[in-house]
Amino acid sequence: MAILIKGGEVVTCERSFRADILCLDQTITQIGEEIGPPSGCHVIDAAGALVMPGGVDPHTHLQLPVMDTVVADDFLTGSQAAIAGGTTTFIDFAIPEKGGTLTDALQQWQSWGEASACDYSLHMTIVEWNKKISKEMELLTLKHGITSFKFYLAYKNAIMVNDEELIAGFMRCKEIGALPMVHAENGDLVYIKQQLLKAKGVTGPSGHPISRPSCVEGEATLRAITIAELIKTPLYVAHVSCQEACDAIHAAQTRGLPIIGETLPSYLTLDDSVYQSKDFDFAAGHVMSPPLRPKGHSDRLWQGVTNGELTVISTDHCPFTKEQKRMGTNDFTKIPNGTGTIEDRLAILWHQGVNSGKITPEQFVALTSTNAAKTFNLYPRKGSIQVGADADLLIFDPTKNRTISAATHHQNNDFNLFEGKNIQGSVVHTIVGGRHLFNDGKLLANKGEGRFLSRIKDKC
Ligand SMILES: [Zn+2]
């Protein structure tokens, strides 16, 4: 199957230029001016539009069993929503049971991943520490290309690790050449704040941001950086939401440390006033950890994005329905934590970032695709437009207006963080592995067409 994209403005993380792109089977085979279509070729007219590498979202939680329920999007619906929004690759997190093996968790997530309509990979989560896990980490890295490991400094009495476990895990990552990642909030402080608030009779969603203020993220971020610095390992700080964490990352980077910061469209555009709403479904719909922050923090995050302190914009896609969120009607600590933006990540960032002049189209490509691909050993197969790269592309109309709504999104839940928001700039076509799966509003993405991506360094 051949696809020829004609007349578009190609945008990469470095430059923009007018060119046609020919894709044969799953690969980009030619980039140039006035390419003639081979016989039987499917031609897409991209005149007036931008052609960019498909989005890479390195932080999702599809089908995750959590807090006595399961995330609303599975690998099929989540990948379909991703494709409709221009994302063609995502990296999810396998999370083992305590006492279980990493290999079992990997197999479980890979069996769910078989339903994905686009390519995906996995990070592994370390929820406890022992010799067996240490050994398995090497096996996962060498044999399966799982080259990144996540540690939670929050979620006490669940998947949180203590400092001793964190240090051992970081040391092991360094030994095997893997990248440690952290969810940085001080879980002991959050737990104590939650108990104090509940004792005072605070039960509603407004308790959520009070129980985990920005200082607990700042402390945990600095702690993880300090450990990484002593061990001399790079570190990936997931979902940076506040000034304190951004400042800690900036200070470390200024000292020359390889600290990578990630943030989300929600932290860049929304604030914690939503938790004061009298409408439980609305307030609970925004419950995520870290929580949305008071006004002002997002300015610091934008500064971090434009200065190159925060180089990856992901989603932490973890959506629930209103009904699921109502599990916490009488206790804010029982509201399932998470929100969904896998479909609107690119549109929101374009609207808020490029249209406002904060970032250039080239920076947009770096933040939504190339930097994540480079960080997680998927580049140049993913995140680039060059001959030999996977034919994962999006065609973007910067003039097209759209209103975001749960009524029209492809995510499998009835709530959208950006409900009613009018945006200018929209993905009109998505090509996934050389297949034209999103065509001006029509989604043709089928179950099981994606592949698991091993991230062994020399294989990419
Ligand atoms: Zn997450």
Q: What is the DSSP-derived secondary structure letter of residue 204? A: S
Phi, psi of 196 (to 5 degrees): -65, -40
Question: Where does the pLDDT of residue 24 fall: very low under 50, low under 70, confident under 90, or very high at 90 and above?
Answer: very high
Give me the half-sphere count of Cα atoms (radius 13 Å) on the Cβ side of residue 300: 18
DSSP string spanning 176-189?
HTPEEEEE-S-HHH
pLDDT in tens, 77-105: 999 999 999 999 999 999 999 999 999 99
User: Does residue 459 have a pLDDT over 60?
Assistant: no
On the 0-12 / 13-18 / 19+ scale of CB atoms within 10 A, 360 is: middle
Assign domain 54-375 to a CATH class. Answer: alpha beta
User: Does residue 362 have a pLDDT over 80?
Assistant: yes
How far, in Å, is the centroid of ligand 1 from the Cα of 315? 8
Average pLDDT, the chain: 97
How far, in Å, is the centroid of ligand 1 from the Cα of 338? 8
Token duo for residue 366: 């770096």
Token duo for residue 119: 């390519």
In this structure, the number of other CB atoms found within 10 A of the CB of residue 439 comes to 14
- Amino acid sitting at position 456: I
What's the pLDDT score for residue 456? Answer: 85
How far, in Å, is the centroid of ligand 1 from the Cα of 217? 14
CA distance 345 to 354: 13
Residues 233 and 203 sit within 8 Å (Cβ to Cβ): no
Residue with tokens 């476990």: 165
CA distance 307 to 113: 35
Rounded to 10°, the helix 187-199/214-231 angle is: 160
The 10 Å CB-count burial string (b at 16+, else e) for 26-48 is eebbebeeebeeeeeeeebebee
CA distance 292 to 281: 16
How far, in Å, is the centroid of ligand 1 from the Cα of 234? 19
How far, in Å, is the centroid of ligand 1 from the Cα of 2? 37
How far, in Å, is the centroid of ligand 1 from the Cα of 405? 23
User: Does residue 460 have a pLDDT over 70?
Assistant: no
How far, in Å, is the centroid of ligand 1 from the Cα of 213? 18
Q: Is the pTM of this model over 0.95?
A: yes
CB-proximal residues (5 Å) to ion ligand 1: 316
How far, in Å, is the centroid of ligand 1 from the Cα of 3? 35
How far, in Å, is the centroid of ligand 1 from the Cα of 339? 10
Structural domain boundaries in the chain: 54-375
Residues 347 and 430 sit within 8 Å (Cβ to Cβ): no
How far, in Å, is the centroid of ligand 1 from the Cα of 440? 30
How far, in Å, is the centroid of ligand 1 from the Cα of 75? 15
Pairing of strands 16-24, 435-439: unpaired
How far, in Å, is the centroid of ligand 1 from the Cα of 219? 19
How far, in Å, is the centroid of ligand 1 from the Cα of 92? 9
Q: Region 194-202: what's the mean pLDDT?
A: 98
381: left (phi over 0), alpha (psi -120 to 50) or beta: alpha
How far, in Å, is the centroid of ligand 1 from the Cα of 321? 17
How far, in Å, is the centroid of ligand 1 from the Cα of 62? 10
How far, in Å, is the centroid of ligand 1 from the Cα of 1? 37
How far, in Å, is the centroid of ligand 1 from the Cα of 26? 30
How far, in Å, is the centroid of ligand 1 from the Cα of 152? 9
Q: What's the residue count for the chain?
A: 460
Residues 431 and 23 sit within 8 Å (Cβ to Cβ): yes
What's the pLDDT score for residue 458? Answer: 58
How far, in Å, is the centroid of ligand 1 from the Cα of 282? 21
How far, in Å, is the centroid of ligand 1 from the Cα of 316? 5
CA distance 313 to 122: 17
How far, in Å, is the centroid of ligand 1 from the Cα of 423? 26
Token duo for residue 24: 């044969």
3-state secondary structure of 322: helix
CA distance 129 to 151: 11
CA distance 242 to 38: 52
CA distance 262 to 236: 8
pLDDT in tens, 286-312: 999 999 999 999 999 999 999 999 999
Residues 429 and 396 sit within 8 Å (Cβ to Cβ): no
Residues 347 and 427 sit within 8 Å (Cβ to Cβ): yes
What's the pLDDT score for residue 1? Answer: 84
Helix residue ranges, H only, 286-440: 297-307, 322-325, 345-349, 361-365, 371-375
pLDDT in tens, 199-215: 999 999 999 999 999 99
How far, in Å, is the centroid of ligand 1 from the Cα of 183? 7
How far, in Å, is the centroid of ligand 1 from the Cα of 5? 35
Residues 127 and 187 sit within 8 Å (Cβ to Cβ): no
User: Does residue 241 have a pLDDT over 70?
Assistant: yes
How far, in Å, is the centroid of ligand 1 from the Cα of 406? 21
How far, in Å, is the centroid of ligand 1 from the Cα of 61? 6
Percent of the chain with pLDDT over 70: 99
Residues 385 and 431 sit within 8 Å (Cβ to Cβ): no
How far, in Å, is the centroid of ligand 1 from the Cα of 176? 23
